[in-house]
Amino acid sequence: MLKRILDILISATALVLLSPVYAYIAYQVKKNLGTPVLFRQTRPGRYGKPFQMVKFRTMKDAWDENGHPLPDSERLTPFGQMLRASSLDELPELWNVLKGEMSLVGPRPLLMEYLPLYSEQQAKRHLVRPGITGHAQVNGRNAIGWAQKFELDTWYVENRSLWLDLQILLKTVHKVIARADIHSAGEATMSKFTGNEPDAVYAVYGAAGCGRSLMPVARACLAQTDPYARLYFIDDSLTGEAEINDHKALNYNDFLSLPHTQKHVLIAIANSRIRAAIAEKLQLDGIRLWSVIADEALLMDDVEIGAGAAISPFVTIGSNVKIGRAFHANLYSYAEHDCVIGDYVTFAPGVQCNGNVRIGDHAYIGAAAVIKQGTPDQPLLIGEGAVIGMGAVVTKNVAPGITVAGNPARPLTQTQTNKA
């Protein structure tokens, strides 16, 4: 009862005090996105009872040639991203709080279509009113997977108190100011929940040095997103089941024959051409490329990473970097702001790729290599299939297929290349 009284008092006061802010945001939404200004959608409330949740609109209307809405990443405008990053789009939900459909703190209201997909434990999140913020929002928000998000929600339901609500509200203020955990890596919005996938199985393709180095990272990622799923090595040299570093290992055909309906694979092969061939094989067999990003890696704002990436510990990806499929970034490497990196590119340990660099598909950047910063109007170019030698300092464009080494980096002769 006291929680509900506080919800009414705080939401009513905020609606009055923030009315000039509401008016200004509404004007800006109409100016940037047109009408309607508000986004309304039916969401499940307490005990799953439907209600109309209201937010400020952040996406433009856009459809493909078949009349289907374009992906969120293509409809979400820079203005909409700003609203979401600052959580200003959530302000109209105070009206839902005042009406008793929501609370200031509680599990976030998701989609109606998710209701039949929850496990019995996950469904407990609907024993309380949904919230504008919640325990999951201050402990990862969109940067964590669904399984962990639901665990945090049900923990809140089982341990809720006014003191806990106050802690969550204070942490929310900090998160909003820091604009933390707004996106999933490589995605504009949180990916869709499709169920708990009890039949999902995962594998690291390759059990040589690259694969064995990435397996601990893959295992840690899976513990957060799908802790009950099985994780294998795939090693094509095997003729039967084996064990490598306490993980079962199979050849590809045996993995393919597993009865699981969902299969996800991280390709841990250093050779980019082999990675590409395996990726094509996986696609033909209906297997999803799996991206693995170490907890110790740092991804800054508006980073886009294609499927199948392997991001090792202590890697840094700067703001507004765009990366293609099956990118490998080894320990302590970094790509600074506004870089564009193609498909199947490899960074060896300690690579220093400074801002405004364009790297073509299948390029290999050797250990401790340094790439000079370009400019927005004249980025430094590394051509497709180029090889940057260990410790090289690249100060000029590198043509496609060329191998360079030294400080400053220069093309190797054919004799030097053969010796290398």
pLDDT digits (tens, 9 = 90+) for 18-72: 999 999 999 998 988 888 999 999 999 999 999 999 999 888 776 767 767 666 6
d(CA 318, CA 336): 4
Are 146 and 6 found together in one domain?
A: yes
194 in any annotated domain: no
Are 262 and 334 found together in one domain?
A: no
Q: What is the pLDDT of residue 184?
A: 41
Single residue among 242, 264, 290 that ends a domain in this structure: 290
329 in any annotated domain: yes
Token pair belonging to 273: 């051409």
CA angle 147, 151, 152 (to 5 degrees): 120
Q: Which of 126, 247, 328, 337 is catalytic?
A: 337
Are 256 and 343 found together in one domain?
A: no
Are 139 and 53 found together in one domain?
A: yes
Instruction: Please give the residue range of the domain that contains residue 227.
Output: 200-290
pTM for this prediction: 0.56
Q: What is the pLDDT of residue 420?
A: 53
d(CA 355, CA 347): 15
Are 242 and 345 found together in one domain?
A: no
Are 267 and 315 found together in one domain?
A: no
Q: Give the count of beta carbons closer than 10 Å to the beta carbon of residue 412.
A: 18
Are 98 and 148 found together in one domain?
A: yes
CB-side exposure of 419: number of CA atoms within 13 Å? 6
pLDDT > 90: what percent of the chain?
A: 72
67 in any annotated domain: yes
Are 219 and 164 found together in one domain?
A: no
Low-confidence ranges of the chain (pLDDT < 70): 62, 64, 67, 69-73, 141-143, 179-190, 196-199, 414-420
The CATH number given to whatever domain includes residue 326 is: 2.160.10.10
Q: Give the C-alpha distances (Å, rounded to integers) separating 307 from 139, 181, 264, 351, 394.
A: 25, 19, 11, 21, 28
The CATH number given to whatever domain includes residue 284 is: 3.40.50.20
Residue 365: beta bridge partners? 347, 388
298 in any annotated domain: yes
192 in any annotated domain: no
Q: What is the pLDDT of residue 142?
A: 66
Long-range contacts from 364-367, C-beta under 8 angstroms, 24+ separation: 364/272, 364/388, 365/333, 366/390, 366/391, 366/392, 367/330, 367/391
d(CA 37, CA 27): 8
d(CA 132, CA 215): 37
Model confidence pLDDT, tens digit, residues 339-379: 999 999 999 999 999 999 999 999 999 999 999 999 999 99
Are 276 and 329 found together in one domain?
A: no
Single residue among 290, 320, 339 that ends a domain in this structure: 290
Amino acid found at 172: T
Q: What is the pLDDT of residue 268?
A: 98
Q: What's the total number of domains in the chain?
A: 3
Are 144 and 213 found together in one domain?
A: no
Q: What is the pLDDT of residue 299?
A: 95
Q: Write the Ramachandran bin of 100: left for phi over 0, alpha for psi from -120 to 50, otherwise beta.
A: left
Token pair belonging to 84: 């979401």
Q: What is the pLDDT of residue 143?
A: 65
Q: What is the pLDDT of residue 188?
A: 40
195 in any annotated domain: no
Are 323 and 409 found together in one domain?
A: yes
Model confidence pLDDT, tens digit, residues 184-205: 433 445 677 877 655 689 999 9
173 in any annotated domain: yes
Single residue among 147, 178, 209 that ends a domain in this structure: 178
Asked about 337 being catalytic, the answer comes back as: yes
Strand order in the sheet with 292-293: 292-293, 310-311, 328-329, 346-347, 364-365, 387-388, 403-405, 410-411
d(CA 113, CA 129): 18
Are 232 and 337 found together in one domain?
A: no
Q: What is the pLDDT of residue 139?
A: 87
Where do we find the tokens 């949904």?
130
188 in any annotated domain: no
Are the beta carbons of 170 and 207 closer than 8 angstroms? Answer: no
